[in-house]
Structure formats: C-alpha cells, structure tokens
Chain A
Amino acid sequence: MITFLTYLINGLNIGSVYAVIALGYTMVYGVAKMLNFAHGDVIMVGAFLAYCVCAYLGLHPIIAVLGAVIGCTILGILIERLAYKPLRQATSLAVLITAIGMSYFLQNMAQLIWGSDTKSFPSIIQGDAIVLFKTVQDGVTKTLTLSPINILTMASCFIIMIALTLFINKTKMGKAMRCVSEDKGAAELMGINVNLTISVTFAIGSALAAVAGILLCASNYAPLSPTTGSLPGIKAFTAAVFGGIGSIPGAMLGGILLGLIENLGKAYVSSELADAFVFGILIVVLLVKPTGLLGKKIHEKV
C-alpha cells in the first residue's frame, strides 16, 4: 500500500511538471498553430540560467527562479520573432523543421556556453521530509514521506494551472488568445493585435518552461546538461496530444495522467519498459479518440 502511494505521489509530482510544460506546447499550438519543438530546450535554458544565478553569483534561489523566468520569457519572444514570425505564411512543414532546427541551435549554444558535462543542480529548498504515514511490518519500517521539493513542485504547478485557467477565461488578453486560437481573421476584425497575442503566448509558455526546468532539475528527475530538456519536452508534448492538443484543461489532464501512468508502469510493469508502456497507452487512446481526451473536433468550413 505504502509503495503504491509512494509511486502515486511521485507520479503526481512529475505529472504536474509535465502538465506545466504541456501547457506551453498546447497554448502555442492553439494560438500560432505550430508545434514548437524548441520548447523542451527552453526548459534546459531556464534550468541553466537558474544554475548560473545560484552557483556563480551565489544569490538566493528565489532570485534564481525570477532570473530564469525573465530570461526565458525574453528568449521565447525572440525565438518567435526571429525564427517563426517570418514563416507565418509558410507551410507547416517548413515551420516544423525550423522548430527542430531551433531546438538543436539552443542545445548547441548551451554546449558552447556551459560545456557538455552534467552539472549538479543546487538544492533550492531545504528542510526535512514530512512523514505522512508509518507502518511496521515483520520488523521492517515503511514510511510514506513527502519531501519539501515534492511539496514545492506540486504546489507551484497547481497554482500555475489555476492561475493560467483564470487568465485564459477571465482576462482580456486571455480571451483574445482564445479568439486568435479559434479564428485569426475574425480576431483581427475585433481589433485584436494578433502579433502581440502570439508574442504574449510564447512569453507565457517560455516562462512556464523556465519554472518547469528548475523544478525538474531540483527534484533530480534529470541531471543538468544541454540535453536535459529533450526527453521531458517530448513527454510533455505527448501529454499535450494525449489530452487533446490546443486544449488547456487537456494539457493539464494529459500531463498528470502521463506522470501517473509512467510511475505506476515503472512500479508494476517494468522499469525498463515504462516509456514503452506510456507510449503504448497513448497510441491506444489516439486510436479510440484521435483528438485526444479533451480535444475538440475540428470542423472543416466550406
């Protein structure tokens, strides 16, 4: 039982990080109708920025987080302006290849600046783990614990998800994003500045990526290196498709489910085959429901 709960907590933990990354994919897809494969590498840049502020400048972790968020926001806007905006009218395949190119560009830049060896990420939160539950069975003590970084990760991811939902549904900019995502031309006719809206979307997605990168490295899910963002990026993209790409609640649900399936798969199926298990489930879901769990059917207009 305790083992199960431990895996469940770990699953929720990593799942909530996947969800935050998946939000970046899904928002950009919704608004700009493109798959930003460089998103995973923005995660890595965010983690490196935080690492630099902590390790080189010796500043407080909160300042490191702020620095990484600001840095990635600017990076996201620059990527969109320099790489994707000139291709607004191009075919989606050209944009996709550009995104893959941007992904490698960021990885190589990171390698140039920080080297290819892995860095040990400083711990951003101290304290003892909270013991939730303790049993003694056959002389063996089993405990269910929640470490401070677990609490921080889950709390910040859930706060981000709630805040983003409110932002999208209640604010003027959030509603403008929904309009652009549904019909760019009609949005322009309302007086919405579509270019600005797309920039803001990239800015938010990249800021979220920075937070996710720090949480990933701080909870030791991934060592810090120029390729840190690749696998979580792909997994979060999978989560976004799983939940229904373009759908914000879908990305959240997809991310959390993916984290849970991955961890329970590791525990009860095979730790080597966990990823295969995750992708197997994804394939089954997409066979049954091609738009993803919460994806909307696309109506072709004549």
Chain B
Amino acid sequence: MSLLKIDNIHVYYGAIHAIKGVSFEVNEGEIVTLIGANGAGKSTTLNTIAGLIRPRSGMVSFEGKPLHKVTTAKTVSHGMALCPEGRRIFQQMTVKENLEMGGYSRPAKEIPASIEEMFVRFPRLREREKQIAGTLSGGEQQMLAMARALMSKPKLLMLDEPSMGLAPILVEQIFEIIKELHAAGVTILLVEQNAQMALSIADRAYVLETGTVSMSGNADDLLHNDAVRKAYLGS
C-alpha cells in the first residue's frame, strides 16, 4: 500500500521553477531513494513533503490524506519526520534536550523510554548525553539528528543527505543504521548524492534531473543502468 504519494507537484522559488511536475510514491516498508546532481530538486522535494515549502500545484498525500495544506508541525503528528540537510540539530542545547525536542509532539511520559531506546541504538549519544550538541563531531551530530527525528516515532523517515561531509567509515556506519531502522519496520525516503551507497540499500529509486523525474525503477536495475552509471556513479 502506498504510504506517501506525490502527485505532479510544482514548486517555485520566486520566479524560478524548481520542481516541474514530480510524481512518485513510497510504499509501506520500502527504502526509496531520490538521487540526482546538485540543484536537481531533491531537498526541495523533501522540504515540500514536510510542508516547509508549499507547492504551487499538485498533491502530497500520506496514508491517503492530503497533506500539502497542513503545517509542518502537523505533518509530524501524522507520522512523518524529516532529518534535514546539514543536520540542523539545536547546537546550544544538550544531546538529551535535542532528543526531548524530537519527541515534542508525543506525551511527556513516553519520552524517557524513547530516549533510552535511542541510547541503545546510538551508544555514542549516551556517552554525550549532557554535552552541548554543537560540540559533537560531524558523525555524532548526524546520529543525533537521526535519533531526534526518530523520537517522534515516525512511520516515514525522510533523510536528506545523511552522508554529507562524513568520512567513508562513518558513511558506512550511517548506512548500516539506516538498514537496521528499515529492518525494524520504518519506511525510509532517502535523498543522497552518494548514489552508489543509496542504490545499494534501496528497494526503488527515482532519478531527479532539473526538477523532473528522468528515470525510475528498481534500485538494482538502476545501479546497473549505463546512463545512471555514467551520470551518477562515475564509471
């Protein structure tokens, strides 16, 4: 069943037509990835789904309900979480406070147990519990951003460039965690510049090119597609 459905959305930044009629869907239990070059509209698409940007036309629906007119804050209580590009953790708050904020939409009494779950999944965060988040390393900040997004218990987790600026070993660690989350039943929509890694863990993929979907299909097929290899995998 399709959990998230994007139907022909058009997004403008002033006069610039950034997304020109993108449609795709994410089914429950899948990992779907959007790949594409810088400026193709990947982050814009995610931000539109999360309600941070409004589409001029088109539909975003989640579990069959239209979402494109709902505020970002409400999309969270519908079961969507976006882990934004550049992490955007609250630098001046402690690690624990960041996690608490992630659970803002949930009843306060459920929060400590969820924080404990995150500490089990991300042991490094437990060590840093009382530290100011701005002092964490890049990898730790990415983990915190993901844990913070998971604190809302989302049905759909959207990750925007989780590997950005990380050393290869950390990138592998982050992708391991994405696989674990998927195995635990979270549906994932992943935006990545590291197309190789993204395609290797995804079920399906969409290739974005200057605001339109230029190709789509099984991640495996795209991984072996000549055009994709040439354009995005560098071989």
Using a CB–CB distance below 8 Å, which chain A residues touch chain B? 172, 175-176, 178-179, 182-183, 185-194, 296, 299, 301
Contact = CB atoms under 8 A, between A and B. Distances in A.
Interface of B: 50-52, 71-74, 76-77, 81-82, 84, 86, 88-93, 97, 100-102, 104-105, 108, 148-149, 152
Nearest to A178: B93
B43 to A, nearest CB: 12
B88 A185 contact: yes
Contact of A176 (B50, B82, B89, B104): B104
9 contacts: A172-B108, A175-B100, A182-B90, A189-B50, A189-B72, A190-B101, A190-B104, A191-B74, A194-B73
A35 to B, nearest CB: 21
B134 to A, nearest CB: 9
A189 B51 CA distance: 9
B88 A179 contact: no
Given A175-B100, A176-B104, A186 B76 contact: no
A178 B50 contact: no
Given A182-B90, A182-B93, 15 more contacts: A172-B104, A175-B100, A176-B101, A178-B90, A178-B92, A178-B93, A185-B84, A186-B88, A187-B101, A189-B82, A189-B88, A190-B76, A190-B101, A190-B105, A191-B77
Given A185-B52, A189-B50, A301-B86, A179 B101 contact: yes
Contacts of A193: 71, 73
Nearest to B76: A191
Nearest to B47: A185
B90 A186 contact: yes
A187 B100 CA distance: 12
Contact of A296 (B92, B108, B152): B92
Chain A: interface secondary structure? helix
B193 to A, nearest CB: 15
Contact of B84 (A179, A186, A192): A186
B152 A191 contact: yes
Q: 5 smallest A-B Cβ distances: which pairs?
A: A191-B105, A191-B76, A188-B72, A186-B88, A190-B104
Given A172-B108, A175-B100, A189 B76 contact: yes
Contacts of B149: 189
Contacts of B101: 175-176, 179, 187, 190, 192
A188 B88 contact: no
B148 to A, nearest CB: 8
Contacts of B81: 189
Contact of A190 (B86, B102, B108): B102
A301 B84 CA distance: 14
Contacts of B148: 190
Contacts of A182: 90-93
A188 B52 contact: yes
Contacts of B93: 175, 178-179, 182
A87 B147 CA distance: 35
Nearest to A185: B52
B92 A192 contact: no
Contacts of A175: 93, 97, 100-101
A109 B81 CA distance: 47
Contacts of B77: 191
Contacts of B86: 301
A182 B84 CA distance: 15
Nearest to B149: A189
Contacts of B105: 190-191
Kindly name the residue among B73, B81, B105 whose own CB sees the greatest number of chain A CB atoms within 10 A.
Answer: B73
Contacts of A296: 92
Contacts of A194: 73
B153 to A, nearest CB: 11
A190 B93 CA distance: 14
Contacts of A189: 50, 52, 72, 76, 81-82, 84, 88, 149
B101 to A, nearest CB: 5
B90 A183 contact: yes
A175 B152 CA distance: 16
Nearest to A183: B88
Contacts of B89: 186
Nearest to A296: B92
Nearest to A181: B92
A187 B50 CA distance: 12
A192 B52 contact: no
Contacts of A191: 73-74, 76-77, 104-105, 152
Contacts of A176: 101, 104
Nearest to A193: B73
Nearest to A196: B73
Contacts of A183: 88, 90
A158 to B, nearest CB: 25
Contacts of B74: 191
